[in-house]
Amino acid sequence: MEFNGINLKDLRNGEAVQFNTDIIDIVTANNPATLQVTLPFNEFVTTQNELSILYATDQGSDITPILQALDRRRDDAIIGIRGMADAYRYHYDPAKRAAGVSIIDNLGLYSGSIAQQSLIAETASIKNILQDWDTLPELMAAVAELQLDDWKTELQTANDLFHTQYMARNTEVAARNPNTILEKRVEAAQRYYTLRDTIGAYHLINNGINPWGKTVNEINNLIDQYNVLLATHSGQPEDNTPAPPPQQG
């Protein structure tokens, strides 16, 4: 039996922390010594504990609730603009209908559901949209035709405030932690693969008898659950998602 694959890089930070914790629980229940994986297991546990501390520090920042409020504010602006433009696509006035189509088409260039993108990706998308609206004649005319100037100002303000607070939190967390969540997640992924492959090797050598067969089944069931969770994502993980770990399944 082989292990099921999972894109660890696509898990959000909180999900990655919980996934690692679940793996530790499974291996602990099946006895690392009996599985003959004590060393890679302990290394994985150590890295996971360090990741948990970094994540807790990040979540514990006083700036985090401010960021969450500002993110909701800019999401509301995007949703409001999209709703208005979508309604105008069916307007009886051809000019207003064309303006609505132009705005919707422009928003569609930036991954569709902008409000569900990662924090960093959403910041960049909004910046690009606003630049389009300030420089492309067709979109400048569309904004004017639909009287979206107030909405545009609100979106600009919310996005700028979010970016300022986001950078402030990064500075704060970096000052408290020499390691970053990004770096620690990559390390945790590497430790997971080592632990997983060691269990897999003993599973093969021992023809899948327990406790290896049981452990592999339980880990695969867990991976299936997280793959279902990943399928509900919008295609973008949250902020601070690490670069892809080693290319393994």
127-180 tens-digit pLDDT? 999 999 999 999 999 999 999 999 999 999 999 999 999 888 777 766 666 568
pLDDT of 64: 83
Q: Extract the tokens encoding 25.
A: 């629980």
- Residue percentage of the chain with pLDDT more than 70: 87
Q: Angle of helix 137-145 relative to helix 149-176, nearest 10 degrees? A: 110
Give the closest residue to 158 by CA, choosing from 116, 121, 127, 131.
Answer: 127
Q: Spell out the long-range contacts of 212-215 with Cβ–Cβ below 8 A and sequence spacing 24 or more.
A: 212/35, 213/1, 214/30, 215/26, 215/27, 215/30, 215/35
Structure confidence at residue 239 as a pLDDT band (50, 70, 90): very low
The answer to which of 92-96, 144-148, 207-211, 237-241 has the lowest mean pLDDT is 237-241
Sign of the torsion formed by the C-alpha atoms of 25, 31, 35 and 38: positive
**Single-letter amino acid code for the residue at 50:** E
Burial string for 26-42 (b: 16+ CB within 10 Å, else e) reads: bbeebebeebbbeebbe
pLDDT given at position 245: 42
Q: Answer for the pair 239, 12: CB distance below 8 angstroms, yes or no.
A: no
Q: Could you tell me the residue ranges of all domains in the chain? A: 8-60+178-231, 63-176
pLDDT score of 95 more than 90: yes
Instruction: Give which of 29, 16, 1 is closest to 229, Cα–Cα.
Output: 16
Mean pLDDT (the chain, rounded): 87
**How much is the pLDDT for 237?**
41
